[in-house]
Structure 1
Amino acid sequence: MKPQLLVLHGLTEGHRAQLAQTLDLIYAPTPAERAAAVAEHGARVQIVLTIGATGLTAAEMDAMPQLSLVCALGAGYENIDVAHAQQRGVVVATGAGTNEDCVADHAMGLLLAAVRGIVHHDRLTRDGVWRDVLPLPPNVSGRRLGLLGLGGIGRKIARRAEGFDIEIGYHNRSPRRDVAYRYFDQLRDLAEWADFLVVATPGGPATRHLVNAEVLQALGPRGTLVNIARGSVVDTAALAAALREGRLGAAGLDVYESEPRPPAELIGLPNVVLTPHVAGWSPEAVQRSVDQFVANVEGHLAGRGPVAPV
């Protein structure tokens, strides 16, 4: 008999078919379907597949007495109640590492688009505006990039930035011994040093509004903020005010506090580039994530443990 899997995030038919080869799949990607599935099938669910933003609550876990494994499809797991899972003896695992290249690519794309004004210039060009009446957009190359977080994704971004002859600095909870990048023990000091600040740190209460008005002020009117991590890390109201008042140069955001609704405070600003939380999404990255979920399940059921435990 196949183990019972509850899926709480959207998957393609092909990926659902891949999982159905070894698992009895209940597919509930919407809130209404999720509530109904937990109520109807919770008693026999053994494995849950979710994402960090969707998560899994303590109450939902308690409605699943046979639950033994919860997996996040991506690297984030901020809304999975890990402490309660551990109390229950439920293993939590992730898709860490599967979409790092994709996210790093997107971060550089947002940085280039924001600094060079690519989206704004595209719109002006379609309206017949020529370059003679436009201010010159600055270089990206040869400048300073500060990374808030130097985990797997942060390091991939740094490697790409090095290709643009960009100097790298970073802020972590503690310095890394395996890199030569400049370490800043205070985020404000990093922002003051940097031309560009890229947010690549996990979400959750510990990092909420780390990028606040003070940090944005330190980044300054020629600075650019890029966020491909979690919307909660950036104070949206402070960011909107800094951009409107010319105290920050530009921003490129893939994530927002208002998700899935767009950030209303930023919509009308020409110096902002917005994408709908797709930095980690590509056919290649999603396939790697699904494959790693399968590996997590296989390791867990075989007694070896998942390949990417929390």
Structure 2
Amino acid sequence: MPEEIIQTHKLLDRCEAALDERYTVHRLHLAEDRDALIAEVAPRIRAIAGGSVQADLMDRLPRLELISSFGVGYDSIDIAAARERNIRVTNTPNVLNDAMAEITIGLMVSLARRLPQSDRYVREGRWPSGNFPLQTELNGKTVGILGLGRIGKEIALRCQAMKMRVVYYGRREQGDEPHVYYDKLEDMARDSDWLVIIAPGGKSTEGIVSRKVLEALGPQGYLVNMARGSLIDEPAMVEMLGNGGIAGAALDVFADEPNVPEALFALDNVVLSPHQGSATHQTRNKMGDLVVANLEAHFAGDPLLSAVV
């Protein structure tokens, strides 16, 4: 008999088909009565596919051994509770690095050159009345990266290709990296033309880009958030974008997704993206494949491919 697993949210069709081929899948997000489904299958469940797993669900699954999460971020899973219960957790790193780095540069160029606004300028028939205003470039600018992890390093490489100077802030200095390290985020923001946020979410980074950090970035500085909306003091950011406290922002994530502060809609110095950093067919399929591969490894007794815990 195939192993039985719980799926907590919608996954890609390819991933779901692969799960169905290998396991008996109980889709919690489709259940009319979640509590009844959990009570029925709990004694047989050794693994979960997906995220949004808190301690109460873990406690209701006494044989749970693995949470194979879809995504590089795992802040929707209670990691401390998993450790306490000796439950392994995996994520899907590396396979999305290129997609994330590409869209980061794309958003930076879009913001610097006002590409969405220039597109509207042409579509609205305004070009015959005069040329679009001059904008700015990335080359020669300093980009400060908050979180020089796997994705951060790929962003750094592409920024260097754009002839930008790269500096970074993180929990520790990485001795094998050539970029200048800052041990204070405010100082890095003050010395940067662009601040790119690509650090993990969670309590340890909540509000790390505070009003003081934004003030240090200043009226000539641009902000790019590819991480989680929780890392920024969002009300302060919205206020400063409106009053010129910072020059502009490219935002792929928000504090209360999919709800975006309406005040941003009227601003001409922002580029807004619907949390699509890794949203390509290639990358999402690779992420789904890794979810399945971690499940297969666990049930076979082999080492996990991308263990978090």
* Interval of TM-score (by shorter of Structure 1 and Structure 2): over 0.9
SS of alignment partner, residue 21 of structure 1 = helix
Counterpart of 1:243? Answer: 241
Counterpart of 1:206? Answer: 204
Q: Which runs of 5+ in 2 are unaligned?
A: none
Q: TM-score, normalised by structure 2?
A: 0.94
Give CA-to-partner distance per residue, 1:37-90, whole Å, 9 cap, x none. 435433432211224xxx211001111112110021111111211111111111
Tell whether 2:69 aligns with 1:59: no
Greater relative contact order, per chain length (Cα 8 Å cut-off, separation 6+) = 2
Counterpart of 2:193? Answer: 195
Counterpart of 1:16? Answer: 16
Counterpart of 1:89? Answer: 86
Counterparts of 1:283-298 in structure 2 under 5 Å?
Answer: 283-298=281-296
SS of alignment partner, residue 235 of structure 2 = helix
| Letter paired with 2:201 | G
Greater shift in the superposed pair: 145-154 or 257-266: 257-266
| Letter paired with 1:277 | H
Contact 1:237 / 1:265 at 8 angstroms: preserved in 2? Answer: no
Q: How far 1:136 sits from its partner (Å)?
A: 1.4
Give CA-to-partner distance per residue, 1:257-289, whole Å, 9 cap, x none. 011222333222121111111101211111111
Distance 2:244 2:262 in 1: 18
Contact 1:120 / 1:271 at 8 angstroms: preserved in 2? Answer: no
| Letter paired with 2:290 | Q
Tell whether 2:69 aligns with 1:72: yes
Counterparts of 1:140-155 in structure 2 under 5 Å?
Answer: 140-155=138-153
Contact 2:12 / 2:288 at 8 angstroms: preserved in 1? Answer: no
Greater shift in the superposed pair: 101-110 or 11-20: 11-20
SS of alignment partner, residue 265 of structure 1 = helix
Q: Residues 37 and 253 from structure 1, CA distance in 2 versus in 1: closer, same or farther, beyond 3 angstroms?
A: farther
Greater shift in the superposed pair: 106-115 or 118-127: 118-127
2:116 pairs with one of 98, 114, 119: 119
| Letter paired with 1:66 | R
Distance 2:32 2:169 in 1: 40
Q: Residues 276 and 33 from structure 1, CA distance in 2 versus in 1: closer, same or farther, beyond 3 angstroms?
A: farther
SS of alignment partner, residue 244 of structure 1 = helix
1:186 pairs with one of 184, 187, 209: 184
Supply the RMSD in Å over aligned alpha carbons.
Answer: 1.8
Q: Residues 188 and 64 from structure 1, CA distance in 2 versus in 1: closer, same or farther, beyond 3 angstroms?
A: same
SS of alignment partner, residue 53 of structure 2 = coil
| Letter paired with 1:46 | R
Distance 1:299 1:226 in 2: 37
Give CA-to-partner distance per residue, 1:181-234, whole Å, 9 cap, x none. 010111111111111110010000110111111111111112111111111001
| Letter paired with 1:4 | E
SS of alignment partner, residue 262 of structure 2 = coil
| Letter paired with 1:137 | Q
Q: Residues 20 and 267 from structure 1, CA distance in 2 versus in 1: closer, same or farther, beyond 3 angstroms?
A: same
Q: How far 1:124 sits from its partner (Å)?
A: 2.6
| Letter paired with 1:95 | T
SS of alignment partner, residue 169 of structure 1 = strand
Q: How far 1:30 sits from its partner (Å)?
A: 6.2
SS of alignment partner, residue 140 of structure 2 = coil
SS of alignment partner, residue 264 of structure 2 = coil
Counterpart of 1:309? Answer: 307
Contact 2:18 / 2:292 at 8 angstroms: preserved in 1? Answer: no
Distance 1:31 1:245 in 2: 47
Q: Residues 57 and 121 from structure 1, CA distance in 2 versus in 1: closer, same or farther, beyond 3 angstroms?
A: same
Q: TM-score, normalised by structure 1?
A: 0.93
1:157 pairs with one of 151, 155, 158: 155
| Letter paired with 2:106 | G
SS of alignment partner, residue 225 of structure 1 = strand
Tell whether 2:230 aligns with 1:232: yes
Distance 2:33 2:75 in 1: 22
Counterpart of 2:98? Answer: 101
Q: How far 1:31 sits from its partner (Å)?
A: 9.1
Q: How far 1:294 sits from its partner (Å)?
A: 2.0
Counterpart of 2:46? Answer: 46
Counterpart of 2:268? Answer: 270
